Amino acid sequence: MQHQDHCTVLSHTQRDEGEWVQHTLMLENNETPFRFRRSKKYRSLKGSRVNVDYYPQTTLVAGMEFETMKVVRIKRC
Protein backbone atom coordinates (compact mmCIF):
# COMPACT_ATOMS: atom_id res chain seq x y z
CA MET A 1 0.00 0.00 0.00
CA GLN A 2 1.19 3.50 -0.78
CA HIS A 3 0.30 6.82 0.82
CA GLN A 4 0.27 10.48 -0.28
CA ASP A 5 -0.34 13.50 1.97
CA HIS A 6 -1.76 16.92 1.12
CA CYS A 7 -2.46 16.21 -2.58
CA THR A 8 -4.54 18.76 -4.49
CA VAL A 9 -7.48 17.30 -6.42
CA LEU A 10 -7.54 18.65 -9.99
CA SER A 11 -10.75 16.88 -11.07
CA HIS A 12 -13.42 14.69 -9.46
CA THR A 13 -16.07 12.82 -11.46
CA GLN A 14 -18.89 10.64 -10.17
CA ARG A 15 -20.75 8.05 -12.27
CA ASP A 16 -23.61 5.74 -11.30
CA GLU A 17 -22.83 2.04 -11.75
CA GLY A 18 -25.88 0.14 -10.57
CA GLU A 19 -26.10 0.40 -6.79
CA TRP A 20 -22.66 2.03 -6.57
CA VAL A 21 -21.18 5.41 -7.51
CA GLN A 22 -17.75 5.24 -9.21
CA HIS A 23 -15.52 8.19 -8.23
CA THR A 24 -12.45 9.13 -10.29
CA LEU A 25 -9.88 11.66 -9.09
CA MET A 26 -6.95 13.27 -10.85
CA LEU A 27 -4.35 14.51 -8.38
CA GLU A 28 -1.70 17.18 -8.88
CA ASN A 29 1.65 15.84 -10.16
CA ASN A 30 0.06 12.46 -11.12
CA GLU A 31 -0.98 11.29 -14.57
CA THR A 32 -2.75 8.17 -13.30
CA PRO A 33 -6.43 8.29 -12.24
CA PHE A 34 -7.36 7.35 -8.68
CA ARG A 35 -10.62 5.38 -8.45
CA PHE A 36 -12.95 4.26 -5.67
CA ARG A 37 -16.60 3.29 -5.21
CA ARG A 38 -19.14 4.43 -2.64
CA SER A 39 -22.80 3.69 -2.12
CA LYS A 40 -23.76 7.40 -2.42
CA LYS A 41 -22.60 10.51 -4.22
CA TYR A 42 -20.05 12.62 -2.39
CA ARG A 43 -19.58 16.37 -2.39
CA SER A 44 -17.05 17.46 -4.97
CA LEU A 45 -13.41 17.20 -3.91
CA LYS A 46 -12.17 19.42 -6.75
CA GLY A 47 -9.63 21.94 -5.42
CA SER A 48 -9.43 20.21 -2.02
CA ARG A 49 -6.34 18.77 -0.41
CA VAL A 50 -6.62 15.10 0.51
CA ASN A 51 -4.62 12.29 2.12
CA VAL A 52 -4.86 9.06 0.09
CA ASP A 53 -3.95 5.41 0.73
CA TYR A 54 -3.99 3.36 -2.50
CA TYR A 55 -2.79 0.33 -4.45
CA PRO A 56 -1.66 0.38 -8.10
CA GLN A 57 -3.79 -1.81 -10.36
CA THR A 58 -4.20 -2.53 -14.05
CA THR A 59 -7.60 -2.20 -15.75
CA LEU A 60 -8.43 -3.82 -19.10
CA VAL A 61 -10.55 -1.57 -21.36
CA ALA A 62 -11.35 -2.60 -24.94
CA GLY A 63 -8.37 -4.96 -24.99
CA MET A 64 -5.91 -2.30 -23.77
CA GLU A 65 -4.37 -2.19 -20.31
CA PHE A 66 -4.51 1.04 -18.31
CA GLU A 67 -2.84 1.70 -14.98
CA THR A 68 -5.12 3.10 -12.27
CA MET A 69 -4.84 3.51 -8.53
CA LYS A 70 -7.41 1.82 -6.30
CA VAL A 71 -8.13 4.10 -3.34
CA VAL A 72 -8.45 2.30 -0.01
CA ARG A 73 -8.82 5.40 2.19
CA ILE A 74 -9.31 9.07 1.37
CA LYS A 75 -9.62 11.94 3.82
CA ARG A 76 -9.78 15.71 3.43
CA CYS A 77 -6.91 17.60 5.06
Q: What is the pLDDT of residues 6-24, one digit of tens each?
A: 999 999 999 999 999 999 9
The closest alpha carbon to 44, from 66, 67, 21, belongs to 21
DSSP-derived 3-state class of residue 73 = strand
pTM: 0.89
Sign for the CA dihedral angle at 64, 1, 31, 38 comes to positive
| pLDDT 10s digits, 26-60 | 999 999 999 999 999 989 999 999 999 999 999 88
Q: How far is CA 42 from CA 23, 37, 66, in A?
A: 9, 10, 25
Distance CA 21, CA 13 (A): 10
